[in-house]
Structure 1
Amino acid sequence: MFSETRYSTSPKDIPHFTNERLREEFLIESLFIPDQLQMVYSHIDRMIVGGYLAVEKTGDISDGSAVGTPGFFDAREMGIVNLGGTGTVVVDENTYIVEHRDVVYVGRETKSVRMSSKDPSNPAAFYMNSVPAGYPVPSALIRQADSKPVTMGDEEHANKRTLRMYIHPEVSPSCLLLMGITEPAPGSIWNTEPPHVHERRMEAYVYFNMAPEDRVMHFMGEPSQIRNIVVADRQAVLSPAWSIHMGAGTGPYCFVWGMTGENKAYNDVQPVAVKDLL
């Protein structure tokens, strides 16, 4: 099932990494291959990052042998975000029509998930985050209209953006998974200002709605040793709890953020002033 396995990395190693090594450890370049389920298992809080570009075939997630359980969801939950055209997600007996930027939450003890497209010429692109879960929560469809938007930043600093919460205690519950979508306003390029760390939660991102020629400069690392990864459309980045996150795009873009760890509280975030970055 897994196309790759990624292992945890010490922050002390990062200053010695080449750009190639940094990308090998933290960037996931090929998540959306037509009709192929792509799953990357990360030992950073055991998050699985996946993608399925549904063209002609239906993607199925049910077998748990790769995670050591009879069923994939015996001890896991998942969030599925549609980054493409209209799709269908069937969670056991529940069928959800999933539009662009809608999210499906899949709870622990689910037996199977099947994903397909309405129109192969405009295929659904399903992006997935799956994490261990201690108890079951009912599966749900969270439409973009049902998400909770929060506007941050300002035009003067080119960081005005809207963060939408989907899988979140204020919108739709889960065990430990959090997911949402952030979109910079027209003319703004920076996201997640000021940068921050949260020692009790890791995070994963996938950037999307980018032109082929554009890139996001994704900054990561400890505040005293920041590094950057150049990211293209529909590529994902793993971010350990010790790492900052900050990005700037050469054109319009959005990103899905997914988190898991000790808690789901946002009040333990530790901001880092830009003037203190090195």
Structure 2
Amino acid sequence: MIQVRYSAAPSSVETARAAELRDNFLVDDLFRAGEVRGVYTHDDRMVVGGAVPQSEQLALPAWTEVLGVPSHLERRELGVINVGDPGHVLVDGEKFELGHLDGLYVGRGCEVAFAGPRAAFYFVSAAAATTHPTTRVGHSEVEPVPVGSARGASERHLFRYAWGSDLKTSELQFGVTVVADGSVWNTMPPHLHDRRTEVYLYVDLSADDRVFHLLGRPGATRHLVVADRQAVISPPWSVHSGAGTGSYAFVWAMAGENNDYTDLFPVAPADL
């Protein structure tokens, strides 16, 4: 099953009801046992999805009625991160074992399947003009970049899996940020990147915790209340920041005109 989300104007966020904000920007039902589910957003033509194989091996759907081609990756590249227990991904028959928060980049033209009784795979695909080799990225093998401070309640570690350096992609970027115990803020101070859409998937929250995610243009922000394994689509004109009621991490993924990670515009808290 795949949903389609259309682009929204920046001004629509300022006057939207809470239910409309959730309908347009929140992805809250990706992980269903025994299913592959997805959302296609017209913002930079990204697909975000979840696969929960349980006892069955699940193929990455073509979703031809939306993508217009007989194979999902005919004109796309894919990023996968396991947000559950260990499992594996088959790429053209080759097995890649993924533990919790391990990642995998899959190049254009491949066939993909997911397996693992307690695994939960999050994936993002984007249009690709070039083909690059499939590459596994172990979470423990990535050098974390410290960001923020305990004083600002924003201490966190940034794990860059595919970010325009080392691992080559056409335009897809993705990775994981882990917020330190005792801190609450992610991506604070916030920023904009007018040439890329970004999607956040919040993970490793307890059942009772939530993240208050800010979206919208600086000076006119609104918020969504987000639970574990729920995602937020952030258009290029929107800030993307949040504060949690407990410990959490998030998977970030971007696609757009380029894959220069530093192509962004900082926003001072005073301008929010």
TM-score by length of 2: 0.97
Structure 1 residue 164 corresponds to structure 2 residue 166: no
Tell me, in whole angstroms, the C-alpha distance in 1 between the residues paired with 2:99 and 2:32: 20
Tell me, in whole angstroms, the C-alpha distance in 2 between the residues paired with 1:62 and 1:99: 23
Tell me, in whole angstroms, the C-alpha distance in 2 between the residues paired with 1:14 and 1:154: 30
Question: What letter matches 1:7 in structure 2?
Answer: Y
* TM-aligned CA deviation for residue 15 of structure 1: 1.2
Structure 1 residue 193 corresponds to structure 2 residue 194: no
Structure 1 residue 231 corresponds to structure 2 residue 226: yes
Tell me, in whole angstroms, the C-alpha distance in 2 between the residues paired with 1:169 and 1:223: 27
1:177 is matched with: 172
Please tell me whether the aligned partners of residues 147 and 171 of structure 1 are also in contact (alpha carbons under 8 angstroms): no
Tell me, in whole angstroms, the C-alpha distance in 2 between the residues paired with 1:209 and 1:162: 15
Tell me, in whole angstroms, the C-alpha distance in 1 between the residues paired with 2:199 and 2:134: 21
2:75 is matched with: 75
2:36 is matched with: 37
Please tell me whether the aligned partners of residues 197 and 236 of structure 2 are also in contact (alpha carbons under 8 angstroms): yes
Residue aligned with 2:113, SS: strand
* TM-aligned CA deviation for residue 212 of structure 1: 0.3
Superposition pairs of residues 214-253 of structure 1, within 5 angstroms:
214-253=209-248
* TM-aligned CA deviation for residue 62 of structure 1: 5.3
2:204 is matched with: 209
Comparing 132-141 with 261-270, greater Cα deviation is found at 261-270
* TM-aligned CA deviation for residue 145 of structure 1: 2.4
* TM-aligned CA deviation for residue 242 of structure 1: 0.2
Tell me, in whole angstroms, the C-alpha distance in 2 between the residues paired with 1:87 and 1:24: 31
Tell me, in whole angstroms, the C-alpha distance in 1 between the residues paired with 2:143 and 2:64: 36
1:102 is matched with: 102
Identity of aligned residues (%): 41
Tell me, in whole angstroms, the C-alpha distance in 1 between the residues paired with 2:227 and 2:62: 31
Question: What letter matches 1:61 in structure 2?
Answer: L
Unaligned runs of 5+ in 2: none
* TM-aligned CA deviation for residue 234 of structure 1: 0.3
CA 1:191–1:276: 2 relative to 1, 3 Å = same
137, 143, 150: which one aligns with 1:148: 143
Residue aligned with 1:124, SS: coil
Question: What letter matches 1:130 in structure 2?
Answer: S
Alignment deviations for residues 29-72 of structure 1 (CA, whole Å, 9 cap, x no partner): 11110011101111011100100112111110253523111221
2:93 is matched with: 93
1:271 is matched with: 266
Comparing 31-40 with 58-67, greater Cα deviation is found at 58-67
Question: What letter matches 1:5 in structure 2?
Answer: V
Tell me, in whole angstroms, the C-alpha distance in 1 between the residues paired with 2:168 and 2:94: 18
* TM-aligned CA deviation for residue 131 of structure 1: 0.5
Alignment deviations for residues 193-247 of structure 1 (CA, whole Å, 9 cap, x no partner): 1111000111001001000000000001000210000000000100000000110
Question: What letter matches 1:197 in structure 2?
Answer: L
1:50 is matched with: 49
Tell me, in whole angstroms, the C-alpha distance in 2 between the residues paired with 1:28 and 1:64: 18
Tell me, in whole angstroms, the C-alpha distance in 2 between the residues paired with 1:206 and 1:63: 22
Unaligned runs of 5+ in 1: none
Alignment deviations for residues 160-183 of structure 1 (CA, whole Å, 9 cap, x no partner): 100000122334221100000001
Residue aligned with 2:11, SS: coil
Question: What letter matches 1:203 in structure 2?
Answer: E
Residue aligned with 1:157, SS: coil
Tell me, in whole angstroms, the C-alpha distance in 2 between the residues paired with 1:212 and 1:171: 36
* TM-aligned CA deviation for residue 76 of structure 1: 0.4
Residue aligned with 1:212, SS: coil
Tell me, in whole angstroms, the C-alpha distance in 2 between the residues paired with 1:75 and 1:165: 24
